Amino acid sequence: MPPTSLRQRAIAPDQLMAAWRRILSKPGDRPSEKVQRFVDDGKLDILASELAAGTYEPVSLTLFDVPKKDGTTRELNVPALRDRIAERAILDVVSPYVDPHLGPASYAYREGLGVVDAVAAVVGLRDEGLHWVLHADIDDCFNTIPRDTAVRRLKALLPDDSLDPLIDLLTHRLVATRRGLKETRGVPQGTALSPMLANLILVDLDDALLDRGLPVVRYADDFVVLGVSRDTVLEAARVATDALEGIGMSLGEDKTEVMNFDDGFCFLGEDFGSRYPPSTDSHRVEVPTRRILYCGRQGSRVFTKNGRVVVESKDNTTLADVPKNLVSRIVCFGAVSLAAGTRSWTLDEGTDVVFLSRRGNYQGQQLAAADGSRVARLCAQLKFVSDPALTLPVARRIVDAKISHQITLLQRFTRPEDAESVESALRTAREMRRMLVDASTVDEVFGLEGAAAGAYFKAYGQLLPDDLAFTVRSRRPPMDVANSALGYGYAILVSECVSALVAAGLDPNIGVLHKASGRRPGLALDLMEEFRPLIIDQVVLTAARQFALTAEHGSAITGERGIYLTKAGKSSLVRAYERRMLQVTAGAIPGFRGSWRRHLYRQAKLLMRTVMNPDEQWTGLSWR
């Protein structure tokens, strides 16, 4: 068994201790004295020993009838405390491999997501103009989930099979009732792994709706589908019925109804109307004390004076004047000069200065001198990238995360009128993703990425407004406004990836997927891959659909080919980019909360950890 197998990670004493603490501090529960004394009584040590020796056996579940608000009861199958701890430890270890596959419709039982996020999603769809709603639930959901299928799906997503025996033990238990022991049906509601297994199965329902352009917001077995007309959501009911029948489940007929925002309805305890609740997007934007200074006026200069950073145009007009301590980074586009004093200050303070061409192509950046520890990291990095056995798994996961996010973006933005043009791209992306596990070289991984990207961008272009639509990704030169905006955004993003990698102690030019070539920062391009659809593609598509980016934001350069963003177009894109990067989320990286910019830096640190210790596996982000 490999030294860092999932099993060893799950049964490690510190992992079991963390699981116990999570149970002890579960919101809304008052821990019993039995839970509190579990460690002091030495029972955690006994559990760890049994798991390590392979003698662990979970005991039967206990059936409880829990009263509901409507006067009925809900059956819960509650495990013994020691089994709850073991199962919780396993859940925490496997979640990073499973969560990215759960899709954009699922809001329950996922770290960093909850009722507030589901409500915000419904509000966003309402404000888009989708005023008709199918509200439904799944009949006897947990008891009818095809358990064996769910368990197979879980195992298939894990990087090794070391946990398979424990998963089998914990998902095939008897339940103690007043009439004795009996077999459980489906997956027992009340155990730690059951919600994940339910979500894995209900991906089929989510995908069936999303692939047809029918946006769904699902919280466990309760969900709404939104559309522009009554006929649209009636079609959603048919699609949902067929999808559930395909996995041996069914809609709850008594709770399935069609309604609209004008009449109002209740979902997840929230009353929805045509204007209430209001949009809550702003609650997830975190404005930092220090901000990035973007300088794009041609011929301008940046200098420091009296503790402030000043930007002046070539006719000496002050364009910006901010305190030094509020500037985290300076980004210069084209002919923008940097005074010697400013250069010295940024180097002394470790403030990055990035240089992009006027059109947004990445040229390079100024970074402070490295400390001595970076030499050891550089040696480890060179050793790492020279070993195909180490680079291939990371390359696969980089591309898997990117394709996953491309699928999510297409599903989030597709509507019924777009579904036919997007269907082929989704099918190709999923096929390429399945083939990644069999790719035997990094070049093969790159080939699968290219095939998925080709199909993706063809569909992506069709989701744009007609005056911005395109059929192929064009780069140098960009042949339309949307392609110009994508390229401009990628250049800004790759500069942030360079900074994040340098801060982590890695050389941004020595890549895993993108090999060092000329001035291309290979590792920064690797790090950026999963953030392309997550950040830039979403920013451009949203800006286009909200008419913050239009055909008027493009212009041709005399004597040159291509369409480039105007000053107004660049400003609009930078504002949208900053807002997205400042959006706060949790659960995209297990146990971590922060802005997307902080997630970028955290992913760079996790990549450095993998380089220094290849047994520590790097995984992609979950979309949030």
* DSSP codes, 404-454: HHHHHHHHHH--GGGHHHHHHHHHHHHHHHHHGGG--SHHHHHHHHHHHHH
Instruction: Give CA–CA dist 443/170, Å, rounded.
Output: 40
Angle formed by the axes of helices 596-612 and 373-385, to 10°? 80
Instruction: Give CA–CA dist 41/140, Å, rounded.
Output: 39
Return the DSSP state at 370: P
3-state SS, residue 533 = helix
Angle formed by the axes of helices 567-581 and 538-545, to 10°? 120
| CB-CB contact of 236 with 136 (8 Å) | no
Question: Minimal CA–CA distance to 119: which of 102, 103, 110, 107?
Answer: 107
> What tokens appear for 11 in the block?
């049964």
Decide: residue 345, CB within 10 A, 0-12 exposed, 13-18 middle, 19+ buried.
middle
Instruction: Give CA–CA dist 298/8, Å, rounded.
Output: 58
| CB-CB contact of 329 with 342 (8 Å) | no
| CB-CB contact of 90 with 186 (8 Å) | no
| CB-CB contact of 387 with 442 (8 Å) | no
3-state SS, residue 354 = strand
Instruction: Give CA–CA dist 389/441, Å, rounded.
Output: 9
> Is position 616 annotated in a ligand binding site?
no
Instruction: Give CA–CA dist 320/314, Å, rounded.
Output: 13
> What tokens appear for 333 in the block?
């586009």
> Is position 529 annotated in a ligand binding site?
yes
3-state SS, residue 311 = strand
Instruction: Give CA–CA dist 98/120, Å, rounded.
Output: 24
| CB-CB contact of 125 with 215 (8 Å) | yes
Residue set of the binding site for Mn(2+): 449, 514, 529
Residue set of the binding site: 449, 514, 529
